[in-house]
Amino acid sequence: MPKHISYFAACLFLGMLFACSNEQSNEAQTDDVVAEQPLKQSQNDLKLALRVITIERLQEHLNYLADDALNGRMTGTTAYEKAATYVAEQFAAIGLRPGGDDAGWFQQVPLHANRIDIDSATFTLHKDGVASALTWKEQFVMSGDAVRAKTAVTAEVIFAGYGIHAPEMGYSDFDGFDLEGKIVAIFGGAPASFPHNERAYYSSSRTKGAEIAKRGIVGVIDMRSRVDQGRRPWEVLVMNAGVRPDMSWVDEWGKTAHHHASIEGRAKINEAASFDFFSGTPISFEDALDAADDGRPMTTPLGIEATLQRQTAHELISSPNVVGILEGSDPKLAKQYVIYSAHLDHLGTGVAENGDSIYNGYYDNAMGTSLLIETARAFAKLHDRPRRSILFIALTGEERGLLGSDYFAKYPTVEKDGLIANVNLDMPMLLFPVADIVGFGAEHSSLQEVIEATVSQEGFVLTPDPVPEEVLFVRSDQFSFVREGIPAVFLVPGFTSTDPDIDGQTLFQDHIQNHYHRPSDDSSRPVDWPSALRFARANVRIGYAVASSNDVPTWNDGDFFGEKFAR
């Protein structure tokens, strides 16, 4: 080939290569722009949607749900059903799709209600051949049996610490003892030496109940540790003993859930009765308290017997969860659901304080339900919906034992495998200008990273559990979803105020001591509304990020709850 031809060809080739390189570079830049445009558009879309959440709407919901006219929203009552109808009407107006039974808004939860006959409740102590009866409310209280009309049991009493068997923690209150046919006297909670995940799990009454039943124990006497004594005075704790019904949900075969037939009696005694109870036994009540504080097993036969007996009236009732769905935009991912939950029920009526017998549940949990409704409104306002679907559920029966969430987690109204995450709102206390958010349970899964990133966009920081001794992670509805292997978070405002002159923890503790589960949890409670708006927007951002992501939330490797419950 002649040289000039070769040079021309080389120049032509280099020119084409350069042009191609420029074209590829321009295409790459264009792809970046195209990729950024939907992201920017979606963020702008989200910002516009968040603006529909207003103080006025939140106040409107609160004013309705916590009004005296709803009589405290007790599960299974007409007043509760009015609250459920209100939420359903709000969901419909917002534009959600009904997600309950038979394409309606409600999932009816079948319940077995029981109410103890106070006059029949007796606790008799047999010591040194002498029988002595404890006094109702002054010394003991008990609940009815979930199934049986009458129970009576007399048996030897064994002190069994916390009533915990935790072999992976090297701790057991049961090893080495044959407790079949015995009554155990135990403390609530778990050793403070347990890491707080394990402490929460083993403090759960369901965990303890299953272990106790497995060992053939026939009765339980619940005592108050020093932590319990500091948490609430006995007089407040038992103020409404026997006043309200207890409840359990009923499965598809008519069986009452979590009922252990082997446990025939259970009672709670106060500190004064506990000291008398241990008098003359091999250990004193102070010894038992010290062992609990130290986390030392001290299982000891006490050389005494007790008789527990009661009569119970029963009734089959139902109470609805309210379920709404916002369909996802991705045909492949729309059958996956991010669940937003808040319990709608409260305690109804009870013993009057300062002439007020209605337990309105303003913060617990009319506030959470109001935020749930406005979260749904923001999502429905989006022009471009998230890829996954969002399921909003106002739950019944939380105050009766996480009943609505436990039932829904067992019998969801959508495909169970499609439930990928839960964000739960329960008693979000917005008493002051809030600087931080606590995500109980966030540290167990990939949700933590999502929450940290999203709440910061509303000026919050994510902080760890400030009160691990309260084991709050197992005490609200998110734990029902965790037990079914679904990563979950219980989202609440933290203790830190943006105003350095305000001690948020003091205000929180004041609410717990003086207003929690009392008639004074009503519209007289203060609300920092700017914080409420920021908290509501942060709540939306979390679910939006999860529902829009390529990835499904996962349990962290080696996580305690993931190991226990992951699907």
Q: Convert the pLDDT of each residue in 315-330 to its tens digit.
A: 999 999 999 999 999 9
| Per-residue pLDDT tens digits for 332-384 | 999 999 999 999 999 999 999 999 999 999 999 999 999 999 999 999 999 99
Same domain flag for 337 and 401: yes
Burial class (CB in 10 A: 0-12, 13-18, 19+), 3: exposed
Region of 176 (left: φ > 0; alpha: ψ -120 to 50; beta: rest) is: left
User: What gap in Å lies between CA 230 and CA 513, rounded to an integer?
Assistant: 10
Answer whether residue 54 is part of any domain. no
Same domain flag for 303 and 202: yes
- Our count of domains for the chain comes to 2
| Per-residue pLDDT tens digits for 379-417 | 999 999 999 999 999 999 999 999 999 999 999 999 999
Same domain flag for 305 and 377: no
Answer whether residue 405 is part of any domain. yes
Same domain flag for 333 and 307: no
Contact predicate 166/195, CB 8 Å: no
Same domain flag for 92 and 136: no
The pLDDT > 70 percentage for the chain reads: 93
List, as own/partner pairs, every contact residues 251-259 make where C-beta atoms lie below 8 angstroms and the sequence separation is at least 24, other chains included: 251/410, 252/411, 256/112, 256/146, 256/147, 257/406, 257/407, 258/206, 258/209, 259/146, 259/147
Same domain flag for 355 and 434: yes
Work out the mean pLDDT of the chain and round it to a whole number: 92
Radius of gyration over alpha carbons of the chain, in Å?
28
Residue whose tokens read 């008799």: 124
User: What gap in Å lies between CA 28 and CA 37, rounded to an integer?
Assistant: 14
The pLDDT > 90 percentage for the chain reads: 88
Closest CA to 320 of 86, 93, 481, 114: 86
The enclosing domain of 242 has a CATH number of 3.50.30.30
Same domain flag for 547 and 469: yes
Same domain flag for 427 and 540: yes
pLDDT at 43: 80
pLDDT at 469: 73
The enclosing domain of 345 has a CATH number of 3.40.630.10
pLDDT at 342: 98
Max mean pLDDT among 32-41, 52-61, 468-477 falls in 52-61
Q: Is it the case that residue 419 has pLDDT exceeding 60? A: yes
Token pair of 144 as six digits: 């009815």
pLDDT at 40: 58
Same domain flag for 152 and 192: yes
Contact predicate 425/371, CB 8 Å: yes
What average pLDDT score do residues 305-314 get? 98
User: What gap in Å lies between CA 439 and CA 449, rounded to an integer?
Assistant: 11
Same domain flag for 156 and 260: yes
Residue whose tokens read 């209100």: 86
What band does 16 get if pLDDT is binned at 50, 70 and 90? very low
Query: What letter would DSSP give residue 87?
Result: H
Same domain flag for 333 and 242: no
Same domain flag for 250 and 333: no
Answer whether residue 103 is part of any domain. no
The whole domain housing 295 covers: 114-314
Contact predicate 408/395, CB 8 Å: yes
pLDDT at 465: 85
What band does 472 get if pLDDT is binned at 50, 70 and 90? confident
What band does 22 get if pLDDT is binned at 50, 70 and 90? very low
Q: Is it the case that residue 253 has pLDDT exceeding 60? A: yes
Q: Is it the case that residue 228 has pLDDT exceeding 80? A: yes
What band does 41 get if pLDDT is binned at 50, 70 and 90? low
